[in-house]
Amino acid sequence: MTILRTLLPAILALAGLPAAAAGAECLIPSKPGGAMDLTCKLAQKGLQASPAAPRLKLSYLPGGVGAVAWNTLVSQRRAEPDTLVAFSGGSVLNLAMGKFGKASVDDVRWVAAFGADYGMVAVRADSPYRTLGDLIGALRRDPRRVLIGMSGTIGSQDWMKMALLARQAGVDPRKLRFVALEGGGEQFIAMQAGHVQAVSGDASEAVVNTHRGEVRILAVLSERRLPGVLAAVPTAREQGYDVVWPVIRGVWMGPDVPDADYRRWVAAFAHMESAPEFAQLRAQAGLYPFSLTGDALTRYVRQASADYHRHAKEFRLVREH
């Protein structure tokens, strides 16, 4: 037993898996039920597929659409070697728009992206809006009469999706009425309770929340129809609105994490994503293939931030210095 304890860290290092498994944590910067929750749960299940892989515990730290978790890690928990934080394209958008203060994408260490999602627009199953055209038509007639649930505030990812659709329809996005909520779980709860009439969210969130037949998805914002349970849902493009909004999902770590720990986690996720069984787990989560780790992911995030900043400028949501 003593020999095994001595050799175990070396065995795990050779396999590309972090040795400090007991305290490993995936921090979810939103309330339960949304896409951030799904991201950490996918990482948890994917790592469990390997007997030697670390076991992740899940923790929730909502607030500020990710700002609380970001600031907590960057200011107080900068060097924790086994703490991961879920992120999405929306997190990068918030950074690009300055919603996390003076923070930038270079303030943390980007570990892995292991799935892609797409935007979607949904209503209740008993809604009078049966197509995206029906909903857009109602917004044209009176944009103040339709309450739209979104994660975040003006300028957020969910706001951007509807703003792009509205602009193509000749509707001023600033006349739309939004209700800011904390994550996809709250959005669907609010819609079922009648507090909002539509939801601008992500396809994976819709998959999680449509199992009881209470939701009608009007459109997915993908290049082509998505496979699986949403295969019957038309794209926005099919309905005359050329809006595509991909969303990557993954995890990052604090800026002062030792390089050896960072590289072990990068290797662990690269190993996870290469496993044949992971593709099935990703599909069950409503996500689609997208695999980047370490330096390659960091380059992608930097470019995405620049692209999001350009969108924000088009809607006059940021000022140039």
Predicted TM-score of the model (pTM) = 0.75
Cβ neighbours around 273 below 10 Å, total: 20
Q: Quick one: fold of 2-116+247-314?
A: D-Maltodextrin-Binding Protein; domain 2 (3.40.190)
Domain definitions of the chain by residue range: 2-116+247-314, 118-245
**245 phi, psi to nearest 5 deg:** -135, 95
What is the rounded distance in angstroms from the CA atom of residue 125 to the CA atom of residue 181?
21
- In this prediction, residue 54 carries a pLDDT of 76
Measured CA to CA, the distance from residue 148 to residue 199 in angstroms comes to 5
Residue 22: the pLDDT is 56
Q: What is the DSSP string of 74-121?
A: HHH-TT-TTEEEEEEHHHHHHHHTTTTTT--GGGSEEEEEEEEEEEEE
Residues 6+ apart with CB under 8 A from 250: 39, 86, 87, 110, 111, 112, 113, 114, 115, 292, 297
Token readout for 271 is 């190993």
Q: Quickly tell me which residue has 């029906």 as its tokens.
A: 134
Q: Are the C-beta atoms of 238 and 195 separated by less than 8 Å?
A: no
Rg (CA), the chain: 20
What type of residue sits at position 38? L
Domains 2-116+247-314 and 118-245 share a fold: yes
Residue type, 245: W
Q: 3-class SS at 2?
A: helix
Q: What are phi and psi of 186, to 5 degrees?
A: -65, -35
Q: What per-residue confidence (pLDDT) applies to 227?
A: 86
- What would be the CATH architecture of the domain defined by 118-245? 3-Layer(aba) Sandwich (3.40)
Phi then psi for residue 187, to 5 deg, are -60, -50
**Side-chain half-sphere exposure of 4, counting CA atoms within 13 A:** 1
Cβ neighbours around 129 below 10 Å, total: 21
Q: What is the pLDDT of residue 284?
A: 86
pLDDT tens string for the chain (321 positions)? 433 333 334 334 434 444 444 579 999 999 898 889 999 999 999 999 877 777 899 999 998 878 999 999 999 999 999 999 999 988 999 899 888 888 999 999 999 999 998 999 999 999 999 999 999 999 999 999 999 999 878 888 899 999 999 999 999 999 999 999 877 788 899 999 999 999 999 888 888 777 667 899 999 999 999 988 889 999 999 999 999 998 899 999 999 999 999 999 999 999 999 999 999 999 888 888 899 999 999 999 999 999 888 888 888 887 654
**Distance (Å, whole) CA 180 – CA 193:** 15
Residue 136 pLDDT? 97
Determine the pLDDT at residue 295: 97
